[in-house]
Amino acid sequence: MARLARFWLGCVGLWRARRRAREGPFGPTRKPAPTARSRELQARLDGAIGAGEFCFHYQGKFDTAQLRLVGLEALLRWDHPRHGLVYPNEFIGLAEQTDAIAALGNWGIDAACRQLAQWRAAGLPVVPVAVNVSARQLCEPHLPDFVLRCLQRHAIAPGLLELEVTESCCIDDMAQAAQVLCRLRALGLAISLDDYGTGHSGLSHVKMLPIHTIKIDRSFIRELGSGGSAGRDTVIVASTIALARGLGLLALAEGVESHGQLAQLQRLGCPQVQGFYLHRPAPAAEVAALLAAGAPADLVSGRKHGAMRRGADAQ
C-alpha cells in the first residue's frame, strides 16, 4: 500500500506540473470583473429558489461489464424566465458568496427524494440518485437530520440517495465535515468524492472522509485512447483505480465521450463510468425510458453515437 501511495503521489506531481505549465508561474489568472448578466443572476438568486425556477437534469452511471444502469447524477439547472436554461458554472460561484448555496443544496436533496418517489409511483425501477453538496453544508451539524426528514417525507430508502463532495472544495473544518459524513454513512447513504485529481487535498480527503466512491475527473479521461498526453493520463487513471480497489472503494470515470475511452477504461478495470457517450443529461420525464430499459438505448439497439459536443451541459 505504501508503494501504491508513493506511485500515486508521483502521478499527481506530474499532473500538477502540467497544470502549472498551463497557468503560468504565478498561478491562475485573476477572475474577470462581474458582468451585467452575473450581477442580474445574483440579484435574482434567492427569489429564484422560492419561485421554483431550479430543476435537475439526470445523467446515468453505468457498470463497464454489461453497461447496466447503476445510478443517476442529479445535475442542477436554472430555468431562468429571461435567459432560459442556465448551467451551474454561471451561478454556483455566485451562490457560494451568500447563504444561497446552502438553500440550493437543501432544495436539491429534497427534490431528488421527491423525484425518486415519483418514478417509483409510476412503476419504474429506481436506482440511487447522487446530489452534490457544498462545503458549507458539510460543516452544518443539522445536515444529517435534514436528510433523514427528506427521506422519511418521501418514503425513500437511504441507499437510494448518494451525496457527492467535490474534491477541490475548500472545507474549513475537516473534522466537522468528517463527523457529518460519518453520520450520513451511518444512515445508509453513499458518499462520493467528485472531480478526483483536480484539488490539492485528494489523498487527505480519501483518508479523512468516509467515502464510498472515487470519481475520476474528466480531465484525465479526455485523452485516453489517443496520442498526446494519453500515456500519463492512463498511468494516473490506472493508479487511481488501483488505489480505490486497495481501499475497498468504487472507482467511476467521468466524461466518457467515445468508444475508445470506454474500451480503455474497461481494459484498465474501471468498474463504473458516466458521460455523453452513454447518456446525456436529460429531464426527469426523459430519464423514465432509461430507467425502464436499464441500459443506454443507442448502444442496446446497436446504433453508433456521433461526435459528442463538449460544453457546459457536461456538468
Identify the pLDDT of residue 36: 87
- Tell me which H or E stretch contains 33: none
pLDDT tens digits in sequence order for the chain, 315 residues long: 555 555 555 554 544 444 443 443 334 434 556 788 888 998 888 899 989 999 999 999 999 999 999 999 999 999 999 999 999 999 998 898 888 999 999 999 999 999 999 999 999 999 999 999 988 888 889 999 999 999 999 999 999 999 998 755 667 678 888 899 999 999 999 999 987 867 655 677 788 889 999 999 999 999 886 655 568 899 999 999 999 999 999 999 999 999 999 999 999 999 999 999 999 999 999 999 999 998 886 654 344 443 334 444 446
DSSP codes of every residue in 237-279: HHHHHHHHHHTT-EEEE----SHHHHHHHHHHT--EE-STTT-
**Cβ of 163: how many Cβ atoms within 10 Å?**
27
227: which 3 cell numbers?
496520442
280: which 3 cell numbers?
446525456
Cα 292-162-247 angle, rounded to 5 deg: 115
Identify the pLDDT of residue 33: 65
Identify the pLDDT of residue 304: 42
User: CA–CA separation, 25 vs 13, rounded Å?
Assistant: 16
Residue 200 dihedral angles phi and psi, to the nearest 5°: -100, -5
User: Is residue 283 helix, strand or coil?
Assistant: strand
Check if the beta carbon of residue 20 is closer than 8 Å to that of residue 244: no
Q: Which of 158, 231, 157 is nearest to 188 (CA)?
A: 158
pTM reported for the whole predicted model: 0.84
Identify the pLDDT of residue 207: 83
CA 228, distance to chain mean position in Å, is 26
300: which 3 cell numbers?
442496446
